[in-house]
């Protein structure tokens, strides 16, 4: 094999809590934190999915009164916010946490307690935003938060306060996680694992992490300005006070388009692991796949204003952003063709994970083509704020990110649990979700071209849109059935699934060289890597130079990350009192937690 023993190790772990809920609350183990992220994302996925079904039930027929306009505004605002910030992003981070250290031959992430803090801040931020439903004050200004709709004049009450403060917490979590994964990937790779030997999923994690730490500060600035407008009476976005509402659009989309690639690149990485494994071939064009991912991340910073063609930027700006939007399709197309080339001539096995990966190729291609259509400003002006845009967005994010995430779940579930998900149920899940997805969103292209604007809670029968909307609603509920099947498969297989060994798929990367599920320390012996597919390469193992046998140091559990995260929650929550000094109580708790964190023994 193309891995050799670099140095043996004696396991001397710190005092870890082995069981019970307290062991999960205080854990700093990257694998457990990954499971916490994934479980939380799944719960929020069910919440966001329920919101989507309520939206589609309202739109199933013309002039429906299933929900009122205010409730509808809250539903579509929280659906978009939940699916983007509480589902797609944390689901990717769940795999970052669990898989990346295993793929690079590390025993943990670089900053285990910071990793735990990132999770708890994310969870508290998500719970904080959703608690607004209990007060009847759920956000209602759209998930893009356009001002003046979210300004103090047109959005009184606590609706937008919950949104802007909760989103700020999620931004803090994302920045902490991005810093952690950049440091981990750069510094903790196994001996011999050069950058161009890293698995594609790890590469996409690295690119995504750089996008997180650079894009999140942009939305942080936008949110801080909105907080000042709402809480302190400034006028950054209010024209009456010399502000400019278009400034929000620039800041939001300057963050928002890198955010699209924050969502899709991890799924691309998952697909790039699944397809070679089930094609029995190395990934075609590995280097160009790496460079195309980097290019996507880089060019993604130069396309934000294609969301703003309708604001009157002028012909020069329109031309620049139109060309940039066309250019970014090139590295994206490279990935599609390289996946097809990988499958070409391979010994294909159509497992559930492989079906979802192929579903990503088909669905994302449709979304990418409609995106190229929007690069032309005249076409974009006609389709702007119609259901055509809703269709395009879901073909890229759901068809790319969510389907890709399901591919990752079916692929790595055996590694996480030591058991296979049921393939028969999995294929039912795939086909119901895939067909339901297309039945939901493909008709929306026609609905949009026929002139139906998005974000409206009803429409007139005379428009002739009832049949297409009913089809979309049937497709949405079909996807709901698929999710129920998936949940049953997940719960059943966790207890009764087929028990497997370290490498049930005969895959090539390092995570498959250790037991399933992995031990707490991951690798008893740190591997030395000689190729991109270390488990497929058959070479004579070359002995490593003699080295001392170091002990494995595993950081002990810590309760200070959740204390600091609760302080962050308290700080932002007390902002709702609208008295400037009240949040200082939360700041004091954060300071207390950080001080004790710094001097915690055993770390």
| Residues with catalytic roles | 79, 108, 143, 173-174, 257, 259, 261, 272, 306-307, 332, 335, 454
Q: Are 412 and 99 in contact (CB under 8 A)?
A: yes
For residue 269, how many other CB atoms are within 10 A of its CB? 29
From residue 262, give the alpha-carbon distance in Å to each of 121, 211, 256, 412, 463.
19, 7, 9, 21, 38
Q: Give the contacts of 117 (CB within 8 A, at least 6 positions apart).
A: 176, 561, 564, 565
Q: Cis link prior to 148 (omega < 30° from 0)?
A: yes
Among candidates 558, 533, 51, which has minimal Cα distance to 283? 533
- Token pair for 123: 């969870």
Continuous H helices in 20-111:
21-25, 30-59, 69-81, 89-103
Taking the alpha carbons of 360, 362, 367, 371 in that order, is the dihedral positive or negative?
positive
Residues 391 and 399: their CA atoms lie apart, in Å, by: 10
| Exposed / middle / buried, residue 540 (Cβ in 10 Å: 0-12, 13-18, 19+) | exposed
551-552/10-11 β-pairing: parallel
Task: Scan for tokens 């497992």, then name that residue.
Answer: 351
Q: Are 132 and 167 in contact (CB under 8 A)?
A: no
Among candidates 298, 78, 264, 106, which has minimal Cα distance to 188? 106
Task: Give the CA radius of gyration of the chain.
Answer: 24
Q: Are 47 and 82 in contact (CB under 8 A)?
A: yes
Q: Are 513 and 3 in contact (CB under 8 A)?
A: yes
Q: Are 338 and 284 in contact (CB under 8 A)?
A: yes
Residues 275 and 283: their CA atoms lie apart, in Å, by: 8
Buried/exposed code over 224-254 (b: 16+ C-beta within 10 A; e: otherwise): ebbbebbbeeeebbbeeeebebbebbbbbbb
């Amino acid at each position: 094999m193309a891995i050799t023993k670099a140095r043996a190790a004696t396991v001397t772990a710190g005092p870890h809590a082995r069981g019970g809920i307290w062991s999960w609350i205080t854990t700093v183990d990257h694998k457990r934190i990954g499971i916490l992220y994934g479980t939380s994302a799944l719960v929020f996925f069910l919440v966001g999915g329920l919101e989507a079904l309520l939206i589609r039930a309202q739109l199933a027929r013309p002039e429906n009164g299933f929900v009122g306009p205010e409730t509808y505004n809250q539903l579509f605002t929280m659906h978009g916010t939940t699916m983007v910030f509480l589902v797609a992003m944390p689901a990717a981070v769940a795999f970052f946490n669990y898989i990346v250290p295993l793929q690079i031959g590390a025993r943990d992430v670089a900053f285990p307690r910071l990793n735990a803090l990132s999770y708890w801040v994310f969870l508290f931020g998500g719970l904080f935003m959703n608690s607004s439903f209990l007060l009847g004050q759920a956000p209602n200004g759209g998930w893009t938060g356009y001002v003046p709709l979210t300004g103090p004049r047109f959005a009184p009450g606590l609706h937008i306060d919950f949104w802007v403060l909760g989103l700020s917490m999620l931004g803090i979590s994302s920045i902490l996680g991005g810093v952690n994964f950049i440091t981990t990937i750069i510094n903790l790779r196994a001996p011999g694992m050069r950058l161009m030997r890293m698995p594609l999923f790890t590469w996409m994690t690295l690119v995504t992490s750089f996008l997180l730490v650079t894009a999140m500060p942009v939305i942080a600035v936008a949110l801080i300005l909105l907080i000042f407008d709402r809480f302190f009476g400034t006028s950054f976005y209010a024209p009456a006070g010399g502000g400019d509402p278009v400034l929000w659009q620039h800041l939001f989309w300057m963050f928002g388009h890198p955010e699209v690639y924050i969502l899709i690149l991890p799924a691309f990485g998952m697909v790039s692991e699944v397809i070679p494994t089930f094609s029995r071939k190395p990934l075609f064009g590995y280097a160009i796949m790496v460079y195309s991912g980097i290019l996507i991340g880089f060019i993604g910073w130069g396309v934000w204003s294609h969301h703003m063609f309708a604001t009157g930027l002028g012909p020069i700006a329109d031309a620049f952003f139109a060309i940039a939007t066309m250019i970014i399709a090139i590295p994206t197309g490279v990935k599609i063709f390289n996946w097809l080339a990988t499958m070409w001539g391979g010994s294909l096995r159509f497992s559930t994970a492989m079906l979802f990966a192929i579903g990503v190729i088909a669905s994302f291609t449709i979304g990418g083509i409609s995106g190229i259509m929007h690069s032309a400003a005249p076409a974009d002006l006609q389709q702007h704020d119609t259901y055509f845009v809703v269709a395009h967005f879901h073909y890229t994010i759901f068809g790319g990110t969510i389907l890709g995430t399901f591919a990752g779940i079916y692929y790595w579930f055996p590694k996480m649990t030591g058991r296979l998900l049921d393939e028969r149920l999995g294929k039912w899940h795939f086909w119901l979700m895939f067909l339901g997805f297309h039945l939901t969103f493909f008709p929306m292209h026609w609905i949009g071209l026929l002139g139906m604007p998005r974000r409206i809670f009803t429409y007139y029968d005379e428009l002739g849109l009832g049949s297409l909307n009913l089809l979309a609603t049937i497709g949405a509920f079909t996807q709901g059935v698929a999710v129920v099947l998936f949940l049953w498969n997940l719960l059943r297989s966790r207890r009764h699934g087929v028990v497997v060994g370290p490498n049930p798929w005969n895959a090539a990367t390092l995570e498959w060289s250790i037991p399933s599920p992995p031990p707490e320390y991951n690798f008893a012996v740190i591997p030395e890597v000689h190729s991109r597919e270390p488990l497929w390469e058959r070479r004579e193992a070359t002995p490593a130079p003699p080295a001392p046998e170091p002990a494995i140091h595993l950081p002990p559990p810590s309760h200070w990350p959740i204390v600091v995260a609760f302080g962050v929650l308290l700080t932002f929550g007390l902002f709702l009192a609208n008295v400037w000094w009240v949040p200082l109580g939360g700041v004091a708790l954060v300071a207390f937690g950080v001080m004790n964190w710094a001097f915690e023994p055993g770390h």
